[in-house]
Amino acid sequence: MAILEGRNLRKTYRLSRKNTVEALKGVEVVIEKGEMVAIMGPSGSGKSTLMHILGLLHAPDPNHGPAPELYIGGENMASLSDNARTKIRARRMGFVFQDFNLVPTLTALENVTLACDYAGIGGKQAKQAGVAALALVGLADRADHKPSELSGGEQQRVAVARALVNKPEIILADEPTGNLDSERSAEILALLRQFNREHGQTIVLVTHDSEVGEACDRVIRMRDGRIRTAITGAGAPVMAAPAVAVPA
């Protein structure tokens, strides 16, 4: 079953009346439930733009050529209000960004439970979920640290905990290992792989690292605002998952 399905996805950025950038030129993409997919391609090829559209952070252009379509779990996103889209984003999706995107003034735990707030979960329940998510990524003992008191790899693990805390069906990660050394990068990738295998979460990640791509089930390659080829095949399990317990 397709969990993410997009057709005729276009995005043109208008910098001035004469100066526009066609970041997406009509993309069709289908991602099956439980897949772990890498999006690869040169800088500027439209990977982040596509991720933002799939993650309901930006809307595709409605008025160039055939109407864009976007379905999440079979539900048409085009007909939903902004409010409904925000709810879907908060409850069904988790995001990880290259630069971690943590709030510097909040502790690791507070950063994680912020995602609970957005999903309408507060108080004790949020705290418990936050503590559990931090434990999952091996950071139970860093809950009270601010981002500046954590290493880069630890900050990214907090970001992964934040993405996972509401047990979303879909995780979208834009270069989640881009700012990490190869060891930390392998750790984050193994964590994502583990969640994908044990919970069937669908993971879409952008990467420039071919090893990361090889560890996924499938690589979608982009060039110049379009999808080039979709190579299907079993991903090589290039690394062992870390020994952390995953709650049901």
Ligand X SMILES: Nc1ncnc2c1ncn2[C@@H]1O[C@H](COP(=O)(O)OP(=O)(O)OP(=O)(O)O)[C@@H](O)[C@H]1O
> Residue numbers of the site for ligand X (CB under 6 A)?
13, 15, 21, 23, 41, 43-49
Query: Of Mg ion, ligand X, none, which one does residue 238 interact with (CB within 5 to 8 Å by kind)?
Result: none
At closest approach, how far in Å is the CB of 176 from Mg ion? 12
Using the minimum distance from each CB to Mg ion, give the nearer residue, 49 or 111: 49
Query: Of Mg ion, ligand X, none, which one does residue 45 interact with (CB within 5 to 8 Å by kind)?
Result: ligand X
Query: Of Mg ion, ligand X, none, which one does residue 21 interact with (CB within 5 to 8 Å by kind)?
Result: ligand X
- Does 45 contact Mg ion by CB under 5 A? no
Give, in order, the Cα–Cα distances in Å from 43 to each of 47, 172, 205, 228.
8, 18, 15, 15
Using the minimum distance from each CB to ligand X, give the nearer residue, 41 or 60: 41
Instruction: Give the integer Cα–Cα distance in Å for 55 and 69.
Output: 14
Using the minimum distance from each CB to ligand X, give the nearer residue, 142 or 221: 221
Instruction: Give the integer Cα–Cα distance in Å for 83 and 181.
Output: 38
Number of residues that bind Mg ion (CB under 5 A): 1
At closest approach, how far in Å is the CB of 48 from Mg ion? 3
At closest approach, how far in Å is the CB of 207 from ligand X? 9
At closest approach, how far in Å is the CB of 49 from ligand X? 3
Spatial CB neighbours of 81, under 8 Å, sequence gap ≥ 6: none
Query: Of ligand X, Mg ion, none, which one does residue 49 interact with (CB within 5 to 8 Å by kind)?
Result: ligand X
Considering only residues 87-116, where is the footprint of Mg ion by CB under 5 A?
Answer: none
The three-state secondary structure class of 178 is coil
Question: Which residues are bridge partners to 227 per DSSP?
Answer: 222
Spatial CB neighbours of 209, under 8 Å, sequence gap ≥ 6: 177, 185
Query: Of ligand X, Mg ion, none, which one does residue 43 interact with (CB within 5 to 8 Å by kind)?
Result: ligand X
Take residue 23 and report the two structure tokens written for it.
């970041």
- Does 196 contact Mg ion by CB under 5 A? no
At closest approach, how far in Å is the CB of 230 from ligand X? 17
At closest approach, how far in Å is the CB of 22 from ligand X? 8
Using the minimum distance from each CB to Mg ion, give the nearer residue, 48 or 177: 48
The three-state secondary structure class of 85 is helix
Do 133 and 158 touch, CB atoms closer than 8 A? no
Instruction: Give the integer Cα–Cα distance in Å for 198 and 93.
Output: 17
Take residue 89 and report the two structure tokens written for it.
């984003």
Residue 36: half-sphere exposure toward Cβ, Cα within 13 Å: 24
List interacting residues with Mg ion (CB under 5 A): 48
